């Protein structure tokens, strides 16, 4: 399980993510991810479905508990492929993670599998740094193992006019051409040069010849107006204890979900139904207690 090992080694906010629990989960209990980085094509789903049919699901999807069910953290394509095959249950790696950690895991998987185009990648970085304010570019750099300059260049793409971004989406411009166009200060000139490049199918060498490069660094990213944080807060906690709490919370949530399934099968016997329902309430109460106690560690 290459990807699982990758997740387990990823560092989040100064602590190693817990291993989680491997469990077969009913498809009906799985919700879509809160974070979407790319659009899935029917062709990709069909291709993966064929592979899974022939070889099985090599890597479990990654979930986190969400209410009475689970939410996909990573593996949306695998989920759709398994669903297309009519599978009722999917092997899953269940973790207890917050929104920020879920976003990081999903982003890392997409980068690891090279499934994002440069614009999708840039938007993901902007969402992390500016929209959610989870950390500065240097902090994001250390988490995803990409250089600060690489992330700056990707995010700077979003400052280009829509006409240029649209040209990339239509495969009329490539990433190298967009990076060259970032050296042009005047937006109208950017558009004019880009349109000329698309019309004449210019090579990068030809494009450079028609661009007057100013001396200002392209890394003066306009997105800094969103007040990028310079340093993530690091919790001074006992990491081993925190991992233990996370695993305990996940275990009780899984137990609560399974208890709900059992209760549905016995609802015609109200005495047993009430007894089991009380146990489920107690489980949820213990989950709340564990969550509160975990917070005391911070």
List, for residues 8-34, the tens digit of each pLDDT value: 444 333 333 446 788 899 999 998 887
What is the length of the chain?
Answer: 298
More confident residue, 52 or 1: 52
Query: Can you give the pTM of this predicted structure?
Result: 0.62
Mean pLDDT comparison of 37-41, 120-124, 246-250, highest-scoring range: 120-124
The sign of the CA dihedral 272, 278, 279, 284 is positive
Looking at residue 240, its pLDDT comes to: 62
The contacts of residue 235 (CB under 8 Å, 6+ apart) are 13, 14, 15, 297, 298
Task: Report yes or no: 64 and 71 within 8 Å, Cβ to Cβ.
Answer: yes
Rounded CA gap, 56 and 50, in Å? 9
pLDDT value of residue 212? 63
Q: What is the mean pLDDT of residues 184-211?
A: 88
Closest among 113, 67, 98, 132 to 235, alpha carbons compared: 98
The answer, yes or no, to whether residue 168 has pLDDT greater than 80, is: yes
pLDDT bin (cut points 50, 70, 90) of residue 109 is confident
Quote the CA–CA distance of 87 and 52 in Å, as a whole number.
11
Residue 151's region, left for phi above 0, alpha for psi from -120 to 50, else beta, is: alpha
């Amino acid at each position: 399980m290459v990807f699982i090992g990758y997740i387990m080694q990823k560092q989040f906010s100064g602590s190693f993510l817990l291993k989680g629990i491997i469990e077969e989960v009913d498809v009906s209990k799985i919700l879509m991810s809160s974070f979407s980085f790319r659009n899935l094509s029917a062709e990709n789903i069909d291709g993966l479905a064929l592979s899974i049919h022939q070889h099985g699901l090599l890597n479990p999807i990654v979930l986190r508990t969400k209410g009475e069910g689970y939410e996909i953290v990573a593996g949306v394509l695998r989920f759709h492929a398994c669903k297309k095959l009519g599978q009722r249950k999917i092997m899953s790696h269940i973790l207890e993670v917050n929104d920020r950690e879920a976003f990081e895991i999903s982003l890392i998987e997409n980068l690891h599998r090279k499934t994002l185009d440069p614009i999708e990648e840039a938007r993901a970085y902007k969402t992390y740094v500016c929209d959610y304010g989870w950390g500065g570019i240097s902090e994001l750099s250390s988490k995803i193992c990409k250089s600060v300059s690489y992330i700056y260049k990707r995010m700077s793409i979003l400052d280009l006019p829509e006409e240029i971004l649209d040209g990339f989406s239509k495969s009329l411009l490539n990433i190298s051409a967009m990076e060259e166009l970032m050296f042009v200060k005047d937006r109208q000139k950017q558009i004019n040069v880009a349109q000329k490049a698309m019309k004449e199918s210019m090579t990068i060498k030809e494009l450079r010849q028609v661009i007057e490069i100013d001396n200002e660094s392209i890394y003066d990213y306009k997105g800094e107006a969103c007040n990028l944080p310079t340093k993530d807060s690091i919790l001074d906690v006992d990491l081993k204890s925190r991992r233990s709490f996370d695993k305990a919370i996940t275990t009780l949530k899984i137990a609560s979900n399974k208890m709900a399934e059992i209760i549905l099968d016995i609802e015609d016997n109200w005495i047993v139904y009430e007894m089991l329902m009380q146990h489920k309430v107690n489980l949820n109460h213990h989950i709340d207690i564990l969550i509160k106690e975990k917070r005391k560690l911070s």
